[in-house]
Structure 1
Amino acid sequence: MELQGAILGEVSYGFCLRNSDGNLIYAQAEDIGIATNTEAEVRGVLQAVRYCKNVQMDHIIMQTDSQLIHRVLLEDWKPSWKISQWVEEIQELETGMDIIYTHILREGNKLANALANQALDIGSFHCQTFQ
């Protein structure tokens, strides 16, 4: 599948990590400037995988509301040249990790989307303490 007519604009990504009890343990968002939504989605996954690798979280269920990114990460679809460098990096980072990629509806991804929107408003941030 190839990106056709992708719209460029000011984009950001956001992701959050929950433990096995469902408690929020980390959140991160970044304004990445002018790009496509697909680029923002794949870069969000990349940053989440990087973070998990750095803190040695090896068993992960990764949820995305992007059907395209989900299918690319499952290797059902080939990535477009525009995102292939990030997909390749994700695949390299996956070595030694157990990652299950799942697709969720946008409604199930409200927190990550809210974080991304917040990054557009105030800039990049990360949170490790929640009250």
Structure 2
Amino acid sequence: MDGSSIGNPGSCGIGRVIRDDLGRLVQAYASHVGYGSNNKVELMALLHGLRICKSLNISNVIVEMDSMVVISWWLRGRCGVWYLEDFWEEIIGLTCTIHCCFQHVFREGNRVADWLAKEEASGIDFDFSNNSIMPRVLQGLIRLDSLGLPSLRG
């Protein structure tokens, strides 16, 4: 999962990719979450991703995100930003019902969610579960990701 805030603070989009235990795409989502900072949108990406996993009855989740801030909050067991505490408390509640393992990934390993989040922050909605209807650039990023190959930044 990933979040994008254009302008920081600015227009915010989140991207989430759900894969099965073999790395195959289950669903890819992008959502607009209003206006805010990069830390808020990264936390919102996590919250929305966990909500979707719960709604799909997925009980074992490996969370991969490039936000060291959110990962450090998880390791400390607290967010510490007063206006994000309600979101944080809901995340903690969801992780009590879903077994989660958190892992930091560099942006190059998170290109699918990053691309989705940036497109959504620009105002383009996505909800995919079938490769044939995806934009070609997204198909390519998913293919590289499924092969375990990072995408290079330009």
Which aligned runs of 4 or more in structure 1 are off by greater than 6 angstroms?
none
- Which residues of 2 match residues 33-112 of structure 1 at below 5 A? 33-76=34-77, 78-112=79-113
- CA change 1:79–1:129 in 2 (3 A) is farther
TM-score after normalising by structure 2? 0.75
Cα deviation, residue 22, structure 1 = 0.9
Correspondence for 2:115: 114
Local SS of the residue matching 1:74: helix
TM-score after normalising by structure 1? 0.87
Which stretches in structure 1 are left out of the alignment for 5+ residues? 1-6
What's the Cα RMSD here? 1.5
Aligned partner letter, 2:118: N
The answer (yes or no) to whether the contact 1:119–1:125 under 8 Å persists in 2 is yes
The answer (yes or no) to whether the contact 2:18–2:25 under 8 Å persists in 1 is yes
Cα deviation, residue 35, structure 1 = 0.2
The answer (yes or no) to whether the contact 2:79–2:88 under 8 Å persists in 1 is no
**Distance in 1, Cα, partners of 2:38 & 2:89:** 18
The answer (yes or no) to whether the contact 1:25–1:130 under 8 Å persists in 2 is no
Aligned partner letter, 1:107: E
The Cα offsets for residues 84-115 of structure 1, whole Å up to 9 and x where unpaired, read as: 11111011111232100111111111110100
Correspondence for 2:131: 130
The answer (yes or no) to whether the contact 1:11–1:32 under 8 Å persists in 2 is yes
The answer (yes or no) to whether the contact 1:8–1:34 under 8 Å persists in 2 is yes
**Relative to structure 2, which stretch is displaced further, 27-36 or 54-63?**
27-36
The Cα offsets for residues 52-80 of structure 1, whole Å up to 9 and x where unpaired, read as: 01111000100110001011123355431
Higher relative contact order (CA 8 A, sep 6+): 1
Local SS of the residue matching 1:57: coil
**Distance in 1, Cα, partners of 2:91 & 2:20:** 21
Cα deviation, residue 29, structure 1 = 0.9
Aligned partner letter, 2:69: L
Q: State the number of aligned residues.
A: 125
- CA change 1:79–1:28 in 2 (3 A) is farther
